[in-house]
Amino acid sequence: MSQLVNYQLNDGIATLTLNNGKVNAFSPDLIASFNAALDQAEQDKAIVIVTGQPGILSGGYDLKVMMAGPQQAIDLVALGSTLARRMLAHPFPIIVACPGHAVAKGAFVLLSADYRIGVEGPFNIGLNEVKIGMTMHHVGITLAQDRLGKAAFQRSVINAEMFNPQGAMEAGFLDKVVAVEQLMPTALAVAQEFKKLNMSAHKNTKLKVRKALLDTMDRSIALDKQTGLTTGD
């Protein structure tokens, strides 16, 4: 597995650790590595834990790629949106162990998982697109609307409000907040609980529950490719 996403399999649990510089930027190469790691986890029939470096899950898309030109930005966001759609339909449970900040695409990773654990501390979690001059893309709106509470959705998507970990749990980005040293032990404990599930029933129920979301995601991915991304003046 590429060093951009380190893959470790232990006792039926695959830990995917993002490792792409200071903010774990989502670049085309990182997304390719992430997909390869999910391929491997599926082959291993493993429950997945996604995590980052101390203090950060991800700060979002690679700005060098986003600023390289309109088509490069459209292509990168399409790759990220397709990854989010894949995570939502993954046949085995996906847990995100968020070790700190999760901004923009980092926050969308949280919204694409089955269970999300954050840590106590002065960390920011949320969608800052409007703050940095990007009109939210259709996939982002679709995913946030499905996974966040109604009030939090408005505050997050339209106002670009950032949340501390406790606020992020109330908003719907996280399911649990623990002390930093308890992050991975808690994620592993959740994974052990998930082992008790019938994986065929988990997969089929997930696809049934999320059918409308996945169908809308497909339409939104196509729409974003057609209409492009709008940036502020």
Return the number of other C-beta atoms located less than 10 Å from residue 28's C-beta.
15
DSSP β-bridge partners for residue 14: 9, 48
Predicted pLDDT of residue 3? 86
Mean pLDDT, range 5-26, rounded to an integer: 97
Is pLDDT at 97 greater than 60 in this prediction? yes
Least Cα distance to 17 among 52, 57, 61 occurs for 52
Predicted pLDDT of residue 231? 54
Ordered by where they begin, the domains of the chain are 5-181 (3.90.226.10)
- Confidence (pTM): 0.95
Is pLDDT at 201 greater than 70 in this prediction? yes
> Which tens digits make up the pLDDT trace of 119-175?
999 999 999 999 998 899 999 999 999 999 999 999 999 999 999 999 999 999 999
Predicted pLDDT of residue 233? 40
Mean pLDDT, range 87-111, rounded to an integer: 98
DSSP-derived pairing of the beta strands 162-163 and 125-126? antiparallel
Least Cα distance to 139 among 125, 131, 26, 147 occurs for 147
Which is higher by pLDDT, 134 or 92? Answer: 92
Predicted pLDDT of residue 230? 61
Predicted pLDDT of residue 131? 94
Mean of the per-residue pLDDT values of the chain: 95
Question: What percent of the chain has a predicted confidence (pLDDT) above 70?
Answer: 97
Residue 134 contacts residue 193 (beta carbons within 8 Å): no
With 0-12 CB in 10 A as exposed, 13-18 as middle and 19+ as buried, what is 225?
Answer: middle
Is pLDDT at 229 greater than 70 in this prediction? no
